[in-house]
């Protein structure tokens, strides 16, 4: 949610930003909010005038009563009482319009950074840099589900019985490798100075709408029937929500945290080969990072954060690239975002394994997270980034470390978490 001052003072900027995101249907919202805001300020002025008049006339009543002018005092009492009703009506009207303003403001996208490439959708995202040489071996890389099943590492038949499509059992060394990736990512982030956290896996609706747009919520989130609780789609949701309605001291910034959680997503649209594998699933595990910082530091943090993910994947012998998200691919709260994509030697292309986002003060504004400054309170900036999400990260690891005999070489950084094992072989 943007600052309403932008609409009061620079509607053209807000409209131009909407056009850059190819959301022209939202253009009328800007003028609608402008007019509603003007009406609210008029109501407030009228209410303030009535309150001043009421207080002034209320002060006369006592003097008139002391002077024996009871009839005149009673007349003013009636007038003061009518003022109270008028003020109440104005306050109710003001509250009603403010709620409408908030609803419309929540739909207006955040102002994107000037460096964001302009494009309609993810097909127009821009490759910035590659890290590691993408290799296509001279032997066939099977589909990841076939590799894992050959190693007795997965059972999707049983999970279909217990839970339906989009779920899975991981078994044996593959399950252990999965957890090794998460553990390594956790320890890597702790070494970077981030505080480790395990957050709640369910959150209230006001936290959900504080951290993401309503269309995102509808597409992603599972709601707990009969309760004001949603299963998290990523631990960023509850980690940023941790600071809801809090006032932070400048000396406490930056707040850098890394969190583990299972994640739950609807993931509509998966079909065919995807259903048989682990690429689109309804639950997965993730090591996340978040930063809350001073506004002027957020872009520096953004560039640090995505590079952490690159290093984690490169340490696991996985080539990756950074892909800058274009304007049309940015969710409404985001100022700037990039995807980290891992190389798939089987498909001979890159696929998304994580994303890094700078949300400016949008989440802080929605959740009421402020900094206590010398000249008054102000909103901080929030950022989030995937360290490792499995099983997508697991797919990348398996394909890039697959051997002709069907075994998987375990990257050196993961071996301490695998009891020193170097290779996963067929039994």
pLDDT digits (tens, 9 = 90+) for 16-31: 999 999 999 999 999 9
Q: Which residues of 17-56 are buried (b: 16+ CB within 10 A; e: fewer)?
A: bbebbebeebbebbeebbebbeebeebeeebeebeeebee
For residue 275, pLDDT beyond 70: no
**pTM, two decimal places:** 0.89
**Average of per-residue pLDDT values in the chain:** 92
For residue 360, pLDDT beyond 50: yes
The pLDDT confidence band at residue 287, using thresholds 50, 70 and 90, is very high
DSSP state of 242: T
What lies within 8 Å, CB to CB, of 170 at 6+ separation is 148, 153, 154, 178, 391
d(C-alpha 30, C-alpha 8), whole Å = 10
For residue 313, pLDDT beyond 90: yes
Span 42-90, pLDDT tens digits: 999 999 888 888 777 776 766 667 777 777 777 777 777 777 788 898 9
pLDDT at 268: 59
For residue 271, pLDDT beyond 50: no
pLDDT at 314: 98
Torsion of CA 182, 183, 184, 186, to 10 degrees: 90
Ramachandran region of residue 269, left (φ > 0), alpha (ψ -120 to 50) or beta? left
Span 153-184, pLDDT tens digits: 999 999 999 998 889 999 999 999 999 999 99
| 179-207: average pLDDT | 97
Span 102-112, pLDDT tens digits: 999 999 999 99
Which residue segments constitute the domains of the chain, with CATH numbers given? 4-105 (1.10.287.40), 122-424 (3.30.930.10)
Longest dimension (CA), the chain: 108
Angle of the 172-191 helix axis to the 392-400 helix axis, nearest 10: 100
pLDDT at 273: 43
| 216-242: average pLDDT | 92
The pLDDT confidence band at residue 219, using thresholds 50, 70 and 90, is confident
Torsion sign across C-alpha atoms 321, 327, 330, 335? positive
Name the more confident of 126 and 267. 126
């Amino acid at each position: 949610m943007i600052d309403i001052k932008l609409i009061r003072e620079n509607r053209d900027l807000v409209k131009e930003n909407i056009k850059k995101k190819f959301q022209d249907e939202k253009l009328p919202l800007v003028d609608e909010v402008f007019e509603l805001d003007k009406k609210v300020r008029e109501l407030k002025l009228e209410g303030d005038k009535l309150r001043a008049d009421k207080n002034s006339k209320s002060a006369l009543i006592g003097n008139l009563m002391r002077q024996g002018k009871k009839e005149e005092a009673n007349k003013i009492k009636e007038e003061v009482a009518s003022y109270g009703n008028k003020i109440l009506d104005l306050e109710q009207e003001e509250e009603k319009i403010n709620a409408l303003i908030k609803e419309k403001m929540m739909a207006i996208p955040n102002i994107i950074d000037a460096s964001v490439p302009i494009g309609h959708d993810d097909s127009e995202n821009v490759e910035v840099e590659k890290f590691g040489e993408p290799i296509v071996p001279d032997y066939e890389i099977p589909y990841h589900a076939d590799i894992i099943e050959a190693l007795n590492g997965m059972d999707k038949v049983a999970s279909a019985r217990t839970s339906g499509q989009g779920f899975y059992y991981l078994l044996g060394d593959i399950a252990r490798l999965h957890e090794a990736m998460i553990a390594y990512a956790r320890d890597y982030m702790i070494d970077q100075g981030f505080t480790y956290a395990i957050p709640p896996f369910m959150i209230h609706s006001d936290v959900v709408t504080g951290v993401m747009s309503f269309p995102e919520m509808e597409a992603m989130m599972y709601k707990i029937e009969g309760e004001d609780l949603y299963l998290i789609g990523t631990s960023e949701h509850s980690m940023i929500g941790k600071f809801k309605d809090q006032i932070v001291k400048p000396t406490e910034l930056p707040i850098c945290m890394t969190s583990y959680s299972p994640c739950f997503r609807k993931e509509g649209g998966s079909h065919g080969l995807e259903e048989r594998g682990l690429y689109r699933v309804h639950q997965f595990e993730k090591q996340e990072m978040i930063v809350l910082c001073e506004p002027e530091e957020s872009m520096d943090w953004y560039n640090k954060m995505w590079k952490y993910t690159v290093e984690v994947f490169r340490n696991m012998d996985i080539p990756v690239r950074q892909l800058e998200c274009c304007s049309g691919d940015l969710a409404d709260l985001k100022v700037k975002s990039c995807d980290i994509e891992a190389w798939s030697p089987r498909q001979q292309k890159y696929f998304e394994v994580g994303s890094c986002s700078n949300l400016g003060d949008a989440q802080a504004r929605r959740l009421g997270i402020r900094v206590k400054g010398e000249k008054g309170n102000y909103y901080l900036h929030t950022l989030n980034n995937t360290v490792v999400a499995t099983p997508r990260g697991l797919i990348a690891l398996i394909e890039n470390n697959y051997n002709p005999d069907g075994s998987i070489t375990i990257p050196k950084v993961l071996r301490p978490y695998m009891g020193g094992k170097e290779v996963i072989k067929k039994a």
